[in-house]
Chains A and B, each alone.
Chain A
């Protein structure tokens, strides 16, 4: 039972097809070719698939696409405005927080939601917000530095 869907992704209405078990991650990557969200584990613990649903961080690998009608989805592709990097993205590069880059989209999405809700987080709060974003390369310090620096920067 495959249904036709219209998903609101990065402000655009995008058509997609899903059966009951099709995940949002699968639709984003394979149908909409938005490959920023990654499949790191396939079962929701690594955070590489993180997107925003109605502004809240969500695991797209744990979200059924068919349940997403009427919700607004933001992927990493929707974070940079007209090709200009978001301050968090710039900060991640400046602080050397991007190595292989696999975790980066999920980290940026999570950080974006954090700074919107808590514009001046402590390092502890940053670490807490990122508890679900696993990075195999960096040791996390540069990532926390980058988000703290982005929070400090004048808006």
Chain B
């Protein structure tokens, strides 16, 4: 494998101070790429997987930053928020704790210091951590672009391998997490700490007197996009979640996934280990 420490040639770098200018720059330069935290794009530049005509850095755009808690209990997260900021965030309540749990397990400290939730989501890697968590959290993805603003539900945003619902020239500007009852935890099985997931499970759930009132289970790294299965969730509602019931939900999910075999695990291995990871995470959230 040959690579350079940076892409050859002179790529112009723009640093717009507001969103409108950023969108205009992306329109003006065909094959321009937005730059968020750089933890993915810069490696793609170095490896020659991306050869943009221009880079539009988003770091100076204030409206893309910040985490705020809204009156209805939902949390508005600017796309340029780093994983480290989300891991340390104190604005989450109830099942929104899933987000801090997820952020803390992304890669390693250096990546978390600079990688952003917006950049990660826009990249749409099927083995990444945010997609299953945001799908479990029923997050809304706020988008802006040449044709104006729109909202996309997380379950509609992650479309395929490295493919999102973003149209050319659109930017993910923020992610809104609704109020979620109970608690939330992210767990992943990986070859080593810091690796992408072999399989991952994002759970929010609330129980009263041991009976499950609400639950959401998002599965990562088991297919081209994150998965939820209504059948697995309905199984648990209104019932005390024992280990065997939790495993039953896990098995329903394992039957529904269609994972590939890759360096992180075979398809058969993923199907084999998913039920127990689902069960363990469910029990942990409801404990």
Interface residues of A (CB under 8 A from B): 1-3, 19-23, 25-26, 29-30, 39, 42-44, 47, 50, 53, 56-59, 61-64, 66-67, 110, 113, 127-129, 131-133
Contacts and interface: CB of A to CB of B under 8 A. Distances in A.
A67 B59 contact: yes
A43 B47 contact: yes
B42 A61 contact: yes
A125 B6 CA distance: 33
B6 A23 contact: yes
| The 6 residue pairs across chains A and B that have the minimum distance between CB atoms | A132-B108, A20-B13, A20-B11, A131-B194, A43-B43, A21-B7
Contacts of A128: 193
Interface string B113-157: 110000000000000000000000000000000000000000000
Given A1-B13, A62-B38, A67-B59, A42 B47 contact: yes
A130 B139 CA distance: 31
A100 B10 CA distance: 35
B194 A64 contact: no
Interface residues of B, number: 34
Contacts of B42: 21, 23, 44, 61-64
A44 B111 contact: yes
A22 B59 contact: no
A20 B54 contact: yes
Contact of B109 (A21, A44, A110): A110
A64 B7 CA distance: 11
B12 A20 contact: yes
Given A1-B11, A42-B46, A47 B38 contact: no
Given A129-B109, A131-B192, 11 more contacts: A1-B11, A19-B6, A20-B11, A21-B13, A30-B5, A39-B5, A43-B43, A44-B43, A61-B46, A67-B13, A67-B15
B110 A1 contact: no
B5 A42 contact: yes
